Amino acid sequence: MAKTKSTSKKSYDFDAIVIGTGPGGEGTAMNLTKAGNKVAVIEKHSEVGGGCTHWGTIPSKALRHSVSRLVEYNSNPLFNKSEKAATLTFENILQHTTKVIRDQVRLRGGFYNRNEVKVFHGEASFIDKHTLHINYPDGSHEQVTAKTIIIATGSRPYRPDDVDFTHSRIYDSDTILSLKHEPKSIIIYGAGVIGCEYASIFRGLGCKVDLINTRDRLLSFMDAEMTDSLSYHFWNSGIVIRHGEEYSSIEGKDDGVVVSLQSGKRMKADCLLFANGRTGNTDKLDIDKVGLTANSRGSLAIDKTYKTEVDNIYAVGDVIGYPSLASAAYDQGRIAADYILNISTEGQLIEDIPTGIYTIPEMSSVGKTEQELTAAKIPYEVGRASFKHLARAQIGASAVGSLKILFHCDTKEILGIHCFGERSAEIVHIGQAIMQQKGEANTIEYFIHTTFNYPTMAEAYRVAALNGLNRLF
């Protein structure tokens, strides 16, 4: 798209300044600059990419990939010819992760360079609603102004005051990436998405894992059959899950960590990963100077256009809370930019946002769960396909898992897709594409009438569709 010059009634250094270069900040900045706006971004880290690239999504998924390949190697009879299994340390697998991060930084940095977006590497805070103060690492500082300011500062791990995160054996999901020693056991406090993913990673490396869940089941927002499958595989791999528990104290020792639970239980491990929630990064922005207030978890309130209570300040990504997904943050940024540019009056995220959970095995879903449909009294039927029956899964020795399609009994409209097993986060998008169609194009019969490559994992949709339609009478 050709750039056109922007004119402002009042003179500012930039048309827009975005605070943060994660997915939300990048989506906003790219959309604004493509429309001809003079745009700057402020990033407190020495490299662009935000928490997604450096501490969150990319590192954990890269770690998971390496461990998954190790597990696959050790379980494959073609390679596992000796009695001694192949091993890797956490530091070993970090080498691959570091390369992925470096490649992502180079790619994302190129976007800003090519689109002439000015990047300030410093820490931003508000002076007034059009002026930001930037503190640089060398102690210098400056002020910059913009007509519009977008807060895309993301989030960080929640740290309760009674846990000593300065102790060398106590980590959160950011600091765990600096783990240097080789733990033989680990306690993971919090069994949300991050806790479950790291439980898979450390168990795959041969660690004894205790996973403390403050709720009564794993990942209760997912379909119950899928989470039951994950619970079984965790149990089968040797992970100990403790449901409905909360800590009373966490003590760092010279040789490990002791966790005392409110139920009276005591546990000890070489180290602890605290992964129980996240906090929006608003505490250092001086948002009170412009009349903004964050909630108890550091999140900002916005309207449907992503505008805050201040007319020229917007917010996108994890800093506004739900859904707190990198994929959604990027779309939020693009949509917010459209509102700022007056291109859109109705832009919004899609209703059915897919969820991908990179445990071992993987889980992914889009749409309604069985529990939600039952509670809403919507008549539905289920079509299932077990991966163990698919030729491609047999060839790839990835027989664990299944695909489940939920569809309306009368209209045959697809209501939900739920997948468990290797490559689930990829497989689910086939169903999502059909769900997004309107009217008769969105029915389970699509999978009967189309032709899939053979052998593929995608063929599971045809198998599940036949299974489900055969249940109707």
Which residues does residue 420 pair with via DSSP β-bridges, in sequence order? 363, 402
Q: Which SS3 state, helix, strand or coil, does residue 466 take?
A: helix
Q: Is 139 marked as a binding-site residue? A: no
Q: Is 405 marked as a binding-site residue? A: no
Q: Is 46 marked as a binding-site residue? A: yes
**Strands 170-172 and 271-274, sheet pairing:** parallel
Q: Is 178 marked as a binding-site residue? A: no
Q: Is 195 marked as a binding-site residue? A: yes
Q: Is 48 marked as a binding-site residue? A: yes
Q: Is 304 marked as a binding-site residue? A: no
Q: Is 50 marked as a binding-site residue? A: yes
Pairwise CA distance, residues 193 & 183, whole Å: 22
Question: How many residues appear in the chain?
Answer: 473
Q: Which SS3 state, helix, strand or coil, does residue 147 take?
A: strand
For residues 124, 126, 131, 132, the Cα torsion angle rounded to the nearest 10 degrees is -10
416 with 431: CB under 8 angstroms?
Answer: no
Pairwise CA distance, residues 123 & 39, whole Å: 17
Q: Is 350 marked as a binding-site residue? A: no
Q: Is the dihedral of CA 64, 67, 71, 72 positive or negative?
A: positive
Q: Is 277 marked as a binding-site residue? A: yes
Pairwise CA distance, residues 28 & 110, whole Å: 16
- Of 363, 148, 159, which Cα lies nearest the Cα of 273? 159
Q: Is 193 marked as a binding-site residue? A: yes
Q: How far apart are the first and last CA of the chain?
A: 54
Q: Is 61 marked as a binding-site residue? A: yes
Q: Is 44 marked as a binding-site residue? A: yes
Q: Is 372 marked as a binding-site residue? A: no
Q: Is 155 marked as a binding-site residue? A: yes
Q: Is 45 marked as a binding-site residue? A: yes
Element (H, E) at 116: none
Residues of each annotated binding site for FAD: 43-52, 61, 153-155, 318
Residues of each annotated binding site: 43-52, 61, 153-155, 190-197, 277, 318
Residues of each annotated binding site for NAD(+): 190-197, 277
